[in-house]
Chain A
Amino acid sequence: MLEDIITASVFASTIRLATPYIFASLGEMFSQRSGVLNLGVDGVMLLGAFFGFYVVYITESLILGVIAALIIGALMGLATAFISVTLKAEQGISGIGIYLFGLGMSELLYKELVGTPRTVAGFPSVDLPILSDLPWLGEIFFQHNLLVYLAFALVPISYFILNYTTIGLQIRAVGQHPDAADAMGVSVTRIRYLTVTLGGTLSGLAGAALSIALLKVFQQNMTAGRGFIAVALVYFGGWRPYGVLGGAILFSFVNALQLQADVIGFELFGWQIPAEFSNLLPALITIIVLVFASKRKEKPTALTKPFERGE
């Protein structure tokens, strides 16, 4: 039974399904490291998914689709930054507003502009030379589309940015002690605009990864809460890029098992587990993980706190 489920193809789809999580969580990680909690990720992902899909559908150009998703993501990021940094709105609530906006807007646009379910060609897989021929590993790691490779490459890049660049140092300082950063001449506002916009951009890309690389269709609410899990993954990963990667893979593994179980049925100790139950699994894991992950050293102490220079 178990060997029917744990196959190379499950691992391969684990890697594939991790892509949207990685993009969205890395973006959210940057924004949280600077002290801004953005709960609107899911909504921005939906908009990115729709615009990416729609532009590819119209122009048949994948590049233009990706660019469209990046642009809408960046715009939503800027809007979020304006609300939570400039207007200093309560971050939890305004994030829900952004989410609902993205949910409703993507649905409306889809109905108005597309209407009936359509598919697009989407990103083809690119087999990496030599590596893809490796037994097992080749199928799991090296026969994916470009966005998958990009997502995994972003992990070490994010690590480098955070720990080895001046901007990364400023991000960490602004999230931990904005007053000190300000006193040292770092513009708290500028840094937060930057990270929140980056977060939006990557969320948009995460949406596109779903609609034009993974599923090659757009459906209403197609993220199914992945954006919220992405936020949880940041906590899970302890605000560190590799931690986030680990979390993304864990969750996408669960997703991959679900898909597999939907196909062949899932049986444990002679019990047929209902598919509805396996759909609950990510939510359960999220809650359990968050209970244990609440106190971490890297947690930005200024998270959700708007900055004011004592005036």
Chain B
Amino acid sequence: MSNLATKRDVEPVLQMRGMVKAFPGVKAIDQVDFDLHNGEVHALLGENGAGKSTLMKVLYGMYSPDAGEILLDGQATKINSPSEAIAQGIGMIHQHFMLVPSLTVVENVALGMKSSRGYRLDLDDVAAKLEQLSHDYNLSVNVHAPIWQLAVGEQQRVEILRALYKGAAILILDEPTAVLTPGEVDDLFRVLRQMTAEGHGCIFISHKLHEVLAISQRITVLRDGRLVDTIETEGATRAQLAEMMVGRPVLQNYQFPPLNAGTPRLTLRGVNALNEREEPGLIDVSLEVHSGEIVGIAGVSGNGQRELAQVIAGLRPATSGTLEMEGTAIERLNPAEIKDLGLSYIPEERMEDGVITEFSVAENYMLRDYDSTKFSRNGVFLRFDAVDQACSEAIRDYEIKTPASSTKVKSLSGGNIQKLVLARELDRNPRVLLAAQPIRGVDIGATEYIHQRLLDEREKGTAILLISEDLDEIQLLSDRILVMYEGRIVGEMKREEVVLQQLGAWMAGATEEDPAPAFA
């Protein structure tokens, strides 16, 4: 480890010059230059679809570039596959994790590595070294657990350990913080600082400007596949970065008209439900959302938010309690019936629950209402002209970056898939809107747009339940804030009365009656 630090020199370890990569219908990156020094965190910024992931996949040998050269330690080199990248000391933590769920942590690390025992696996050796590494970097993992049992944060620790294990001198992190809680982000940053102190170079991608400003030494901004500029982090401001990314000033100051709440539109009373592991996931949850009101559900993810959303959308049965939409009991209804009552749902797992990746943008856009008169004649014959027109409008309004409405969703960038789901759910004029993590993985330009749309819906009288881990977002948009902890609602606050410390304490497990976490 430490000999890396001594090798720190002026010449960058990595230089990418004039990189070009085109996909059918789109130049994902176009003449991009990028370099990295030992011991530095170099952040990569850009809107959804700007080409960040593509540039990194070229570096990691997953895509072959159409033009451009890559120099490692000043030597021109070709990286034709991930195994060549690994062999040259490049590690990558992908936007969507690359771990085999049915295998254990050690097995995932041993995968693709030479064994010290020839053809036989040396899992005990790997486990021992891994445990040493996890001790050195203070990254705790149970090395013998199968991946599917681990929470997202733990899975990411496995990814980092694996990259370190494979001797990565250069580590690429593609939106590593999108799925982490604030505490986990701090841990990640601590590890990154330790790594750079030892001489590793890190490339860090995130949409959260405060993270980029906190961890990086230099920042490169891409827009529409082109390099905008590379700047020193010191002295850079959020506003400046936002403008570089979007190409216009981003204001992010919304009008928040006074609350004009109407009748209750969504009512939950004493709702209980099981989670994936068949344990109680929701415990005695009661809440009410009125017309024209945004209720924010704050809390560290994994405390029942996902179950709450699924129960409301009819995707998970409530074991007891009642749910009503405008007086109609919905706990026995299926998702389609609830949808027809006027619920729109922006799911947290958009790749799994939000879109069909093999379908085109237009097909996904009409997925919810394919049988309505808007998109079909008599609910039977699809009106493709109407679908195409509505979809093209959505692509324009929401600035969804896609070559055409006939492009398959699987080739869209992560943030653009999110925009598509949002466009579909908002354009159907819902009575109740259930939005789970609506800006996860979404760039600031789109965040601004999405937030504005949520506020517009509020003005129109839609009842909105907003589930988010992002306290800033919750505070910005909510009329009322509820905090979830271990499946229960542990506290409630009105917009005017928000006390941040109190919210934080509730998120960490303090109850309303008992302000400090109990130590039994």
Which residues in A have some Cβ–Cβ distance to B below 8 Å? Answer: 164-170, 172-173, 176-177, 179-187, 297-298, 301, 309-311
Which one of B63, B82, B100, B120 contacts A177 once the chains associate, using CB atoms below 8 Å?
Answer: B100
Assess the A169–B111 pair: CB atoms within 8 A.
Answer: yes
Residues from chain B with Cβ under 8 Å of A180 in the complex: 97-100, 108, 111
Residues from chain A with Cβ under 8 Å of B82 in the complex: 182-185
> In the complex, what's the smallest C-beta–C-beta distance from A30 to chain B, in angstroms?
15
Residues from chain B with Cβ under 8 Å of A297 in the complex: 102
> In the complex, what's the smallest C-beta–C-beta distance from B411 to chain A, in angstroms?
8
CA distance A52 to B82 in the complex (A): 43
With A164-B120, A169-B121 as known contacts, state yes or no: A179 contacts B112, CB within 8 Å: no
Closest to A178 in B: B100
CA distance A56 to B98 in the complex (A): 50
Assess the A184–B112 pair: CB atoms within 8 A.
Answer: yes
Residues from chain B with Cβ under 8 Å of A185 in the complex: 81-87, 112
Assess the B98–A166 pair: CB atoms within 8 A.
Answer: no
Residues from chain A with Cβ under 8 Å of B100 in the complex: 172-173, 176-177, 180-181
CA distance A166 to B111 in the complex (A): 7
Assess the A165–B112 pair: CB atoms within 8 A.
Answer: no
> In the complex, what's the smallest C-beta–C-beta distance from B508 to chain A, in angstroms?
34
Assess the A169–B98 pair: CB atoms within 8 A.
Answer: no
Residues from chain A with Cβ under 8 Å of B94 in the complex: 183
Assess the B62–A183 pair: CB atoms within 8 A.
Answer: yes
CA distance A173 to B108 in the complex (A): 8
Assess the A169–B81 pair: CB atoms within 8 A.
Answer: no
**Does B390 count as interface, using CB distance less than 8 angstroms?**
no
Residues from chain A with Cβ under 8 Å of B92 in the complex: 183
With A169-B103, A172-B100, A309-B62 as known contacts, state yes or no: A181 contacts B121, CB within 8 Å: no
CA distance A209 to B110 in the complex (A): 37
With A177-B101, A183-B82, A185-B81 as known contacts, state yes or no: A169 contacts B107, CB within 8 Å: yes
**Does B115 count as interface, using CB distance less than 8 angstroms?**
yes
Residues from chain A with Cβ under 8 Å of B97 in the complex: 180
With A176-B100, A176-B102, A176-B103 as known contacts, state yes or no: A167 contacts B119, CB within 8 Å: yes
Residues from chain B with Cβ under 8 Å of A310 in the complex: 57, 62-63, 411
Which one of A177, A181, A311 contacts B112 once the chains associate, using CB atoms below 8 Å?
Answer: A181
**Majority SS at the chain B contact face:** loop
A-B contacts, 22 of them at CB < 8 A, read A166-B119, A166-B120, A168-B121, A170-B111, A170-B112, A173-B100, A173-B107, A176-B101, A179-B98, A180-B97, A182-B62, A182-B82, A183-B94, A185-B81, A185-B84, A185-B86, A185-B87, A187-B81, A187-B83, A301-B102, A309-B62, A310-B63
Closest to B87 in A: A185
> In the complex, what's the smallest C-beta–C-beta distance from B396 to chain A, in angstroms?
27
Residues from chain B with Cβ under 8 Å of A311 in the complex: 23, 63
Residues from chain A with Cβ under 8 Å of B98 in the complex: 177, 179-180, 183-184
Within 8 A of A (CB), among B36-84: 57, 60, 62-63, 81-84
Assess the A166–B115 pair: CB atoms within 8 A.
Answer: yes
Residues from chain A with Cβ under 8 Å of B83 in the complex: 184-187
Assess the B121–A298 pair: CB atoms within 8 A.
Answer: no
Residues from chain A with Cβ under 8 Å of B110 in the complex: 166, 169
Assess the B121–A164 pair: CB atoms within 8 A.
Answer: yes
**Inter-chain contact total with CB atoms closer than 8 Å:** 86
Add 7 more A-B contacts to A170-B111, A297-B102, A310-B62 (CB < 8 A). A165-B120, A177-B100, A177-B101, A180-B99, A183-B62, A184-B83, A185-B112
Residues from chain B with Cβ under 8 Å of A182 in the complex: 62, 82
CA distance A166 to B108 in the complex (A): 11
CA distance A184 to B168 in the complex (A): 12
CA distance A166 to B113 in the complex (A): 8
Best-surrounded residue of B60, B63, B94, B119 (most CB of chain A within 10 A): B119
Kindly list the 4 A-B residue pairs having the minimum CB-CB distance in the complex, ordered from nearest: A185-B83, A184-B112, A180-B98, A183-B98
Closest to A172 in B: B103
Residues from chain B with Cβ under 8 Å of A176 in the complex: 100-103
CA distance A187 to B80 in the complex (A): 12
Assess the B102–A184 pair: CB atoms within 8 A.
Answer: no
> In the complex, what's the smallest C-beta–C-beta distance from B130 to chain A, in angstroms?
15
> In the complex, what's the smallest C-beta–C-beta distance from A174 to chain B, in angstroms?
9
With A164-B120, A183-B94, A184-B111 as known contacts, state yes or no: A173 contacts B81, CB within 8 Å: no
Which one of B23, B99, B102, B121 contacts A165 once the chains associate, using CB atoms below 8 Å?
Answer: B121
Interface string of B400-421 (1 = CB under 8 A from A): 0000000000010000000000
Residues from chain B with Cβ under 8 Å of A173 in the complex: 100, 103, 107-108, 111
CA distance A100 to B344 in the complex (A): 51
CA distance A63 to B424 in the complex (A): 67
> In the complex, what's the smallest C-beta–C-beta distance from B509 to chain A, in angstroms?
34
CA distance A168 to B120 in the complex (A): 9
CA distance A167 to B108 in the complex (A): 13
Residues from chain A with Cβ under 8 Å of B119 in the complex: 165-167
Residues from chain B with Cβ under 8 Å of A177 in the complex: 98-101
Closest to B410 in A: A310
Closest to A309 in B: B62
Interface string of B6-29 (1 = CB under 8 A from A): 000000000000000001000000
Closest to A311 in B: B63
With A173-B103, A185-B86 as known contacts, state yes or no: A166 contacts B121, CB within 8 Å: yes
CA distance A309 to B94 in the complex (A): 14
Closest to A297 in B: B102
CA distance A282 to B252 in the complex (A): 69
Closest to A184 in B: B112
CA distance A177 to B103 in the complex (A): 10
> In the complex, what's the smallest C-beta–C-beta distance from B493 to chain A, in angstroms?
42
CA distance A184 to B91 in the complex (A): 9
> In the complex, what's the smallest C-beta–C-beta distance from A295 to chain B, in angstroms?
14
Assess the B120–A186 pair: CB atoms within 8 A.
Answer: no
Residues from chain A with Cβ under 8 Å of B81 in the complex: 185, 187
> In the complex, what's the smallest C-beta–C-beta distance from A99 to chain B, in angstroms?
28
Residues from chain A with Cβ under 8 Å of B62 in the complex: 182-183, 309-310
Residues from chain B with Cβ under 8 Å of A179 in the complex: 98
Closest to B106 in A: A169
Assess the A184–B101 pair: CB atoms within 8 A.
Answer: no
Residues from chain B with Cβ under 8 Å of A181 in the complex: 100, 111-112
CA distance A183 to B95 in the complex (A): 12
CA distance A301 to B102 in the complex (A): 10
> In the complex, what's the smallest C-beta–C-beta distance from A180 to chain B, in angstroms?
4
Residues from chain B with Cβ under 8 Å of A186 in the complex: 83, 111-112
Closest to B118 in A: A166
> In the complex, what's the smallest C-beta–C-beta distance from A231 to chain B, in angstroms?
22
Assess the B102–A298 pair: CB atoms within 8 A.
Answer: yes
> In the complex, what's the smallest C-beta–C-beta distance from B417 to chain A, in angstroms?
14
Residues from chain B with Cβ under 8 Å of A166 in the complex: 110, 113-115, 119-121
CA distance A36 to B411 in the complex (A): 25
CA distance A166 to B120 in the complex (A): 6
> In the complex, what's the smallest C-beta–C-beta distance from B231 to chain A, in angstroms?
31
Closest to B99 in A: A180
CA distance A311 to B114 in the complex (A): 28
CA distance A309 to B101 in the complex (A): 19
> In the complex, what's the smallest C-beta–C-beta distance from A103 to chain B, in angstroms?
34
Closest to A298 in B: B102
> In the complex, what's the smallest C-beta–C-beta distance from A187 to chain B, in angstroms?
8
CA distance A309 to B63 in the complex (A): 8
Residues from chain A with Cβ under 8 Å of B101 in the complex: 176-177
Residues from chain B with Cβ under 8 Å of A172 in the complex: 100, 102-103
